Structure 1
Amino acid sequence: MRYLIFFFIIGLTLFTSSCRQDFEFEPSTGGLFFSKDTVYLDTVFTNIGSSTYTLKVYNRSDKDIKIPTIQLGKGQASKYRMTVDGMVGNNNRVFNDVELLAKDSMYIFIEVTADVAEANPTDFLYTDIIEFRHANGEVQDVDLVTLIQDAYFLYPKRFSDGTTETLTIEGIEEPVYGFFLDENDPVNGNEYVWGNDKPYVVYGYAAVPGGKTLNVQPGARIHFHADSGLIVGNGASFKANGTLENNIIFEGDRLEPGFSDVAGQWQTIWLTAGSTGNEIDNVIIKNAAVGLNIDSNDGNFMTIKNTQIYNSSLIGLYAKTAKIRGENVVINYAGIASLACTLGGSYEFKQCTFNNNWSSSRQVAVLLNNYYEDENGAQVPFDLVQADFKNCIIYGSNTYELSLDPATSGLFNHSFTKCLLKFGSSSNPLYSFLFDNPEVKRNENPKFLNIQNNQLNIGDDSAARGFGDDVSVPFDILGNPRTTPFDAGAYNWTTFQD
């Protein structure tokens, strides 16, 4: 029996060894297929690395092949980098004898970091090719195209001892990675004027100290890196006055389409306590943690007009004991609240649209509050002198899109006149004013054009059509004149085009 087992093992070994065939790779002669003939790496800022893009290469033949050379057309001088099937090759630019099995494929991952001076001066495109050089002399190639944008870069100074500039902010224990703007920066010039000749890219917190004013001009584009933002200090001013034709845009610095609506890419625009003379008009704020963070002003009302705030991971407009007049303000998508008026204050919003379709069961469109709790859990009240909403839409994906959170003492004054609200049934006396009230339309659909794309325009069948009064906001957010019967919300109704 022992010999039978021995001969069985010997036979099995001979059988398996006779069936095994080592792969024999033939030099390639062309015929590769590609997932795309041009790889567009979208737009990047000068000298800022891109995201990683993918090209898939197919060998659809029945032969195992070896590609003699895969390389970037500009060779080692190329500003593109790639990995081929997980390999880095010669400095991520040249690869030799790359093997590819029959009926198989491989991935090439591509990145770029280039200066605008290296791009084509007429269209600012930086280009190259990936060459696949075969044994018979045939060359196949795939184009690489990237748009390079020049920009003003604002960031903390680095000192000779290796440390970087930081800011000390009241109420925050640790220094914040940030810097004060400079009137005479050797590279950027006057950093208190942000123009529209090229974008601004901010790293860390850019700060405006007391006595200074940051003027943001029509058409300016400001991009914040992760964990970055803008701080306007006590006694400082922020004036961002765009126009209907030239909005000012604040957003993140990831320019790829996949990041166009990703919340929380940067922190906030923070108008701290005591900031003065702030003005915001025709501004778009996208993809922050908190779009506008407004503390108690200088005691005077500040104005926010014709402003859109979208995709805030926490709050769109976060006000604390502030004084704000808002007209034609549109806020959509926020993790907690589109508008949060907290710690009391005075607010008047006319012809505004506050919607919240964040995918959560706890988000709301509007939150009103007049206290905070100290470390012992005791309420510290602040007077909510007024919170007046006129001709506004307060809507969203949840059953209750208005949250009232009063203290046991202190003023908590609010009014909703000719407003369309989303709010379910309730026996809470706080909300009794919403029921059987001709000044309020409850749970009637505004029928926005496209909520997901932040298009909160209303159509001819919207419940907001014709529901408003004349509240002295003569034009809608698109500059169209308002006429009787007036609509609720920031947009006049229009007939949607298919």
Structure 2
Amino acid sequence: MRTFIFLLFIGFAISMSSCREDFEFERSTGGLTFSKDTVYCDTVFTNISSSTYSLKVYNKSNKDIKIPTIRLARPDSKYRITVDGMTGENQNNRTFKDVELLAKDSMYIFIEVTADVASSNPTDFLYTDQILFDEGTNQQKVELVTLIQDAYFLYPKRFSDGTTETLEIEGLSDSIYGFFLDENDPVNGNEYLWKNDKPYVIYGYAAVPNAKTLEIEPGARIHFHADSGLIVGNGATLKAKGTLEDKIIFEGDRLEPGFSNVAGQWETIWLTAGSTNNEIEHVIIKNSVVGLNIDSNDGNSMTIKNTEIYNSSLIGLYAKTAWIHSENLVINNAGIAALACTLGGIYEFRHCTFNNNWASSRQFAVMINNFYKDENNIEHAFPLGAATFTNCIIYGSNTYALSLAKSQNPDAIWENLSFLKCVMKFGTSTDDLYSFIFNNPEIKRNENPYFLDVYNNKLSIGELSSARGFGDAAILPFDILGNARPLLNPDVGAYQFQE
């Protein structure tokens, strides 16, 4: 009986509470507070959507309130907002009515913008607006500010039947979303010369056709959208030659600080089989899937000087049967390898720094092989004519920074593999392929180079670095920053220590 009475009482209490109105909201009188007075949306390219930014709105009073309106000030605003998860009443979510906010509670407003440079202030290229809370004497506001950057936009053509331009690449069964550069483009002019007056934004793959040369001016900035890249075709040439003061930069098209060191934002710079006389100097390549993809260049040595490749989700420099001469090259952090010299080739690296602190246990700083196995497990060998590393650092978080794989075919060429005056991270091994590493006065094994900050791509060396004074006679008079090296016993790697 007692149990029955208790349950009856509980049921009565629930029915009474469900019938009453839980909250009574009073009209807001303007006493809101905000997490910030101005929301600065980071720089965006014209007509490219920004990241999402947040504003927190507080009701610090003891009353449940109803905000009559929350809206964007400009009727044609390029901003978009959502309020506490709700969408607005008109296009682009510009107006919200009777927004409720409990006492001592808060809510989020999320903000995005897609604007073009023509909409911005012509003197400073700022696009601004306001979020207005309430009307009349109770009105409060939060400023919105975005810098809009103009650019050259390169992208595939769209045809009248709804299809888009694609590229057919030898050796690939599928076409690629991309386009050939145009010497007389009606908007951009000569697309075989990339200038430094404003950035380039690439959608899809931009391709340099046979017998053409793409020249990139010092100081040019090249931004690739997701799944995009640059292709230098058979018989074509890339001349990307910056200077110490005006480096050429290849990166993604997200300009917000949160994307500054995010790998895999775009695809690659692909120098396809037969590309010729390519030169890369004073260049930074960052946040790609594969930084440089060099595929069977035609026997003319490719030169890479004073160049930095950072944050590649797979490989920093991926060479296949290539011929490369490189000096003062820095590659840091990649999902598989900073440098991969595969399927043979001829390689010379002088005063280079290869480091890999990728968050796994199977990444390498340097990989070298001269074969691959097909789907039937049949081995195909290629001649490794030379792979020489002089005054280099090969390091990383893995116990083994170097990986070698030699063909089992006794006739396969594997010649002139040498590491002269190198600092190398390498554990123990009984494999004869690595026997040259141990008890070798030309190699400092497992001695810390003391990089300044590998996670922020600062690979200059510290005072206690094992790289200091270990180099052979100076084969390059200046380091990657233009600092002089001593004639005798220079520091190894791309950086000479500075007091």
Partner of 2:336: 336
Tell me the CA shift for residue 16 of structure 1. Answer: 5.1
Cross-structure match for 1:421 = 424
Aligned partner of 2:126 in structure 1 is 125
Going from structure 1 to structure 2, the CA distance change for 1:472 and 1:12 (only over 3 Å counts) comes to closer
1:455 to 440, 453, 458: 458
Would you say the 8 A contact 1:343–1:384 is kept in 2?
Answer: yes
Per-residue CA shift, 1:386-445, capped at 9, x if unaligned?
000000000000110000100013122210000000001111111111111111100000
In the superposition, relative to structure 1, how do residues 18 and 178 fare at CA in structure 2: closer, same or farther (>3 Å)?
closer
Deviation by residue 1:18-47 (Cα, 9 ceiling, x = unmatched): 694431110000111111111111010011
In structure 1, the residue matched to 2:362 is 362
Q: Distance in 2 between matches of 1:174 and 1:96?
A: 51
Which of 428, 433, 436 matches 2:439? 436
2:319 is aligned with 1:319: yes
- Cα shift readout 1:62-98 (whole Å, capped 9, x = no counterpart): 1110111111121x21111111112222321111111
Any conservation in 1 of the 2:474–2:485 contact (CA below 8 Å)?
A: no
The aligned residue for residue 399 of structure 2 is 399
Match of 2:250 in 1: 250
Equivalent position of 1:488 in the other structure: 492
Task: Work out which of the residue numbers 410, 414, 424 in structure 2 matches 1:412.
Answer: 414
| Equivalent residue letter for 1:360 | S
1:470, CA displacement in angstroms?
2.3
Cα distance between partner residues in 1 of 2:350 and 2:109: 54
Change (3 A) 1:457 1:34: same
Distance 1:276 1:261 in 2: 31
Partner of 2:115: 114
How big is the shift at 1:494?
1.8
1:465 is matched with: 468
Q: Distance in 2 between matches of 1:117 and 1:78?
A: 13
Q: Does 1:105 align with 2:109?
A: no
Match for residue 310 of structure 2?
Answer: 310
Q: How many Å apart are 1:319 and its aligned residue?
A: 0.3
Q: Counterparts of 1:471 and 1:185 in 2: how far apart (Å)?
A: 47
CA distance 1:71–1:15, change in 2 (3 Å): closer
Residues 5, 196 of structure 1: CA spacing in aligned structure 2 closer, same or farther, 3 A cutoff? Answer: same
Whole-angstrom CA distance in 1 between matches of 2:252 and 2:186: 25
Q: How many residues align?
A: 492
Using the alignment, how far apart are the partners of 1:261 and 1:10 within structure 2?
62
- Counterparts of 1:299 and 1:66, CA distance in 2: 74
Structure 1: how far apart are the matches of 2:473 and 2:37? 57
* Structure 1 residue 9 displacement after superposition: 3.3
Identity %: 71
Q: Which residue in 2 is equivalent to 1:78? A: 77
* Contact map agreement 1:390 1:471 (CA 8 A) in 2: no
List aligned pairs for 1:107-186, cutoff 5 A.
107-133=108-134, 137-186=137-186
On the 8 A contact 1:214/1:238 being kept in 2, the answer is yes
Amino acid at match of 1:397: S
**Ranges in structure 1 where 5+ consecutive residues have no aligned partner:** none
Structure 2: any 5+ residue segments left out of the alignment?
none
Call closer, same or farther: CA 1:345–1:12 in 2, change over 3 Å: closer
Contact (CA 8 Å) 1:434, 1:440: kept in 2 or not? yes
- Taking the aligned partners of 2:109 and 2:123, their CA distance within structure 1 comes to 30
1:310-366: CA deviations, max 9, x gaps?
A: 000000000000000000000000000000000000000000000000011000000
Q: Which amino acid aligns with 1:373?
A: K
Residue 424 of structure 1 aligns to a residue whose secondary structure is coil
Instruction: Output the amino acid matched with 1:491.
Output: Y
Amino acid at match of 1:412: W
1:262 equivalent in structure 2: 262
Q: 1 CA distance for matches of 2:427 and 2:369?
A: 20
Shift of residue 58 of structure 1? 1.0
Q: Give the whole-Å Cα distance in 2 for the aligned partners of 1:14 and 1:361.
A: 61
Distance 1:14 1:432 in 2: 83
> Which residue identity lines up with residue 79 of structure 2 in the other structure?
Y
**Mapped partners of 2:294, 2:340: distance in 1:** 10
Report the CA distance shift for 1:6/1:404 in structure 2 as closer, same or farther (over 3 A).
Answer: closer
Counterpart Cα distance in 1 of 2:79 and 2:262 = 26
TM-score, normalised with respect to structure 2: 0.96
- Cα distance change of structure 1 residues 433 and 24 upon mapping to structure 2, 3 Å threshold: same
Amino acid at match of 1:51: S
**1:292 deviation in Å?**
0.1
State the AA in 1 paired with 2:197. D
Q: Is the 8 A contact 1:350 1:471 kept in 2?
A: no
- Which stretch of structure 1 is more off in the superposition, 232-241 or 479-488? 479-488
Is the 2:67–2:99 contact (alpha carbons within 8 Å) kept by the matching residues of 1?
yes
Shifted more, 65-74 versus 206-215: the winner is: 65-74
Identify the residue that residue 237 of structure 1 maps to in structure 2: 237
Contact 2:474–2:489 (CA under 8 A) maintained in structure 1? no
RMSD after superposition: 1.7
Partner of 1:36: 36
CA contact (8 A) 1:276 1:297 kept: yes
Instruction: Please state whether the residue corresponding to 2:222 is helix, strand or coil.
Output: strand
**Contact 1:43 1:255 (C-alpha < 8 Å) held by counterparts:** yes
Deviations 1:360-385 (A, max 9, x none): 10000000000111232111111100
CA contact (8 A) 1:336 1:362 kept: yes
Task: Report deviation, 1:298.
Answer: 1.5
Normalising by structure 1, report the TM-score: 0.96
- Structure 1, 478-487 or 443-452: larger mean CA deviation: 478-487
| SS across alignment from 1:77 | coil
Partner of 1:218: 218
**Distance in 2 of aligned mates of 1:130 and 1:325:** 56
Which residue does the alignment assign to 1:476? 479
